[in-house]
Each structure stands twice: as structure tokens, then as C-alpha cells.
Amino acid sequence: MKTQIIKKKKHTGRRIVLLNNEVKRDTLLKTARNASVRLAHFNDYMEKPEKFSMAYKEGDGIYFENLNVAVLNYNKEEELDYMKKGANQKEILITEPERYVYKIDHHDYVKGYRDGINAFYENYNRKEGGSYPYDQQIHEISEKFIDDELSSWGIKAVKVLESPYTGKNINIAVLDTGLYKTHIDLKGRNIITRSFFSSGSLGDADGHGSHCVGIACGFNDKAGMRYGVAMNSNIYCGKVLDDQGEGTDGSILAGIEWAIKNKCSVISMSLGAPCDADDPFSQTFENVAKRAMKLGNLIVAAAGNESFRPDVISPVGHPANCPSIMATGAVDSNLNIAWFSCAGLNRNGGQVDLVAPGVSVYSMINKQNEHEKWDGTSMATPFVSGIAALYLEQNPDATPLEVWSMLTQNAMRLNLSSIDGGSGLVQAPLA
């Protein structure tokens, strides 16, 4: 996969405000007015969410009522302090800096390095006629699970072909770079898309979102090769990252609020921001995930691709490091941990919950009748999201927490440490 290397900015300058779950809308808006803060309500933008960023230009911020979170504009520290002092019911719990977030990708130069090493191994064996020490391991990796005319290797590994469930009538929200919804593989499907950007393409200029939708919700290609999990699910795709694969915490929150409004039982997010060792998880996103669970929505997110194993192993990124968000790592076709997959290194949250196929994963892209094989925990995440929909079809009255338990309890145990593989490889429900 060819990607543009993005210089990753960290903070936007805005503040995320976590509100007390018991706060009433009218009380909050009154407190804001008393502090000379003009807060817009996200409901005002529900029909045209691409306009929601106008709240920062025409006012001082935006309020997400279902999430009990507000995002305040730049240079509003004094007003925010006044709001805290004037809140007589402890409306404001904490504030955090708003982060930039990105599609979960590894960079071209890293992939090029890996490909160069593989080419060296192959060239060595061809010229010398010898057997390089790693040659047998590489050979075995190529044979554990393989793509064939029937299905992709990932579909085999997670036992989708053995499951009688298809995600029928389950709403899955994929929050990403958008969707190329006229792809031939999606013909006849129930699809709702929304963009949270007032500029750029309305679809998917990057291809990342389309690839993830194909894995979670797709079916097969024109030749009949199965690569998608929940083939009869209802597809909701929110464009929360722009055409360069960049967004903010605010755009993610807007996408989650939209998904909750549309009763999406599963929210899949192959996006985030890298974390350093011992970085705390976001209390705001943890609270959002708990709120979502109470409202019937399970959030699944990519653990991150910042590792360069075996020399560098990086911690799970934001927001997947929140305990109430299901963090997904990646394995290769031999069920070894992927060289780029992040690990559960931080003591205070940030564990990997499950792993799924994430190396050389076949899916649709943002071109008519075209497909590619991509790598990343981004590809692993929609496998888990699609399979969560299968469990919901099997158990229609299950709560998000119960679905979480089904996913982890039925996972295939692997020869991996828990910090790398969590509970194991996600598995589809059987009859």
C-alpha cells in the first residue's frame, strides 16, 4: 500500500470538556452563556454534519449531548475557568487538549525496508542455492493460511466460512476516510454515508475507509472470492478523516455521536494517535466509550502500527488504549504477531484485547472493481467489528459488554504473550 507520509501534529489548541453524566442540557448551556461561551448543539448539524466545524467559526465550540462532551475553541481558557467556577452542580469533570488523529498506517520507508530484507533473502537463496536461516520460517508463513479462489486467508483464519451468520440487520459504523460506495462489490447493499468535512471529496479519496468497510461489511469480489465478514449488515460510513487521512478528536466524537443516533451496534475505528510509554489514556474517551456501551454501542479500535519488531515495540495508541474500547492488534498468515503491531505496555490501561488478520489483507479499494492487499492493525480492526455483528445476530438481545465477553471468550488462544495477542485470535460464532 502506498501512503503519503504525514508529519503528525499532536494537539489542535482546542479543549475537550468532559461533563458530568447527570448534567442537563439547559443547565450546561446556561452555565456557558453566563461565561460568555456560545456553544452550538451537534443536533443542529445532524442533517448536514459537514457543517459542524462552523461551530468553531461562528461560535465558541460544540456540545455532543449523547456523549456529554463539549469541544471549546482556541483561546477560551479564561471562559472555561469561569464556567468551572460558575458550575454549581459540578457539570465539568475534567478538560483535555484536543488531539489530531490519523488513519492507522505504517510509512512507505518502513515497508520498503522490510520488503528489501525479504528481497535479500530471496536473492540469496536463488544465487547461492543455500538455505538462509529464516527461509524455512518464511516458507511456513506462506503456507499456514493462504488466499485462494474461495476466500482470503483472513476469512479462513477467523472461521467466517463456517459460521451461519451474516450480520443481517445489524448496523455497523466505520469511521474513517469515507467510502467509495459505488464499488461493484457493494451493489444492492444498504449504505448510509456522511462526511464531517466541508471541503475535500465526499467519498473516499484515500481508499483506507473503503478497504476497512470491505473487510467488516463486504462479501466477495466479482470472481467469487470471499473477503468480507458481515455481508448482510447495514453499512454506515462516517468520513471523520480528511482526504489526507487526518482528523481530530472532535471529528471522531462527531462520528460517534452520529453512529449512536443511527443505532449502530458496532463502531469500527481504524484511526488514532501514537502514545509514548506510560501515557495515560483519555478520561474523556473512556467516558464516551462507557456511555456508548450503555446506549447499546460497542467501539472497536486499532491498536496502532508504530512498532518495528523485534527492535522497537510501541504501546497501544489513542483512543484504543481506553479500557472500554476494544483494542485490536494484527497477526500474519502464520498467526505470528505482525512486525508493526503495538503492544499492551502501559500499566494504566492500553492493553491489547484481541488480534485479527492484518498482513497482506485483501479487500476493495476506492476504484471500480479493484482490490488490493494492505497491512495494518487498521485491517485487523474491521475483522473484529464484523464478527461482533455476527455475534449480535446470533444473540440479538446481548448488551455490548456481553458481546465483548463473547468475542474474548471464544477467541483462539495463540502462542503469544497477552501484551501482544490479548485473548487471542477473534473467531466467528458457529451454529
Let me know if residue 5 belongs to a domain.
no
If one counts the domains in the chain, the total is 3
State yes or no: is 378 an active-site residue: yes
Please identify which of the residues 106, 183, 208, 211 carries the catalytic annotation: 208
**Residue-wise pLDDT tens digits, 346-395:** 988 899 999 999 999 999 999 999 999 999 999 999 999 999 999 999 99
Question: H/E element holding 260?
Answer: helix 249-261
**Residue-wise pLDDT tens digits, 44-95:** 998 899 999 999 999 999 999 999 999 999 888 888 888 877 655 577 889 9
Same domain, 225 and 303: yes
Same domain, 18 and 162: no
Let me know if residue 26 belongs to a domain.
yes
**Residue-wise pLDDT tens digits, 142-179:** 458 999 999 999 999 999 999 999 999 999 999 999 99
State yes or no: is 176 an active-site residue: yes
Residue 138 has pLDDT above 80, yes or no: no
Q: Which of 116, 139, 162 is the C-terminal boundary of a domain?
A: 139
Same domain, 193 and 92: no
Q: Which of 122, 139, 156 is the C-terminal boundary of a domain?
A: 139
State yes or no: is 11 an active-site residue: no
Range of the domain at 380: 145-421
Same domain, 75 and 134: no
Let me know if residue 193 belongs to a domain.
yes
Among 152-161, 253-262, 340-349, the minimum mean pLDDT is found in: 340-349
- pLDDT value, residue 170: 98
Burial class (CB in 10 A: 0-12, 13-18, 19+), 244: middle
Let me know if residue 427 belongs to a domain.
no
The answer to whether 428 and 159 are in contact (CB under 8 A) is: yes
Query: Grid coordinates representing 284?
Result: 474523556
The candidate with the shortest Cα–Cα distance to 178, out of 116, 111, 102, 240, is: 240
Please identify which of the residues 176, 204, 221, 279 carries the catalytic annotation: 176
Let me know if residue 371 belongs to a domain.
yes
Please identify which of the residues 314, 378, 385, 423 carries the catalytic annotation: 378
Same domain, 87 and 187: no
How far is CA 87 from each of CA 29, 37, 69, 93, 266, rounded to the nearest angstrom? 11, 13, 15, 10, 34
**Residue-wise pLDDT tens digits, 304-338:** 999 999 999 999 999 999 999 999 999 999 999 99
Which CATH number covers residue 261? 3.40.50.200
Same domain, 72 and 115: no
Same domain, 222 and 172: yes
**Mean pLDDT of all residues in 205-217:** 97
Let me know if residue 269 belongs to a domain.
yes
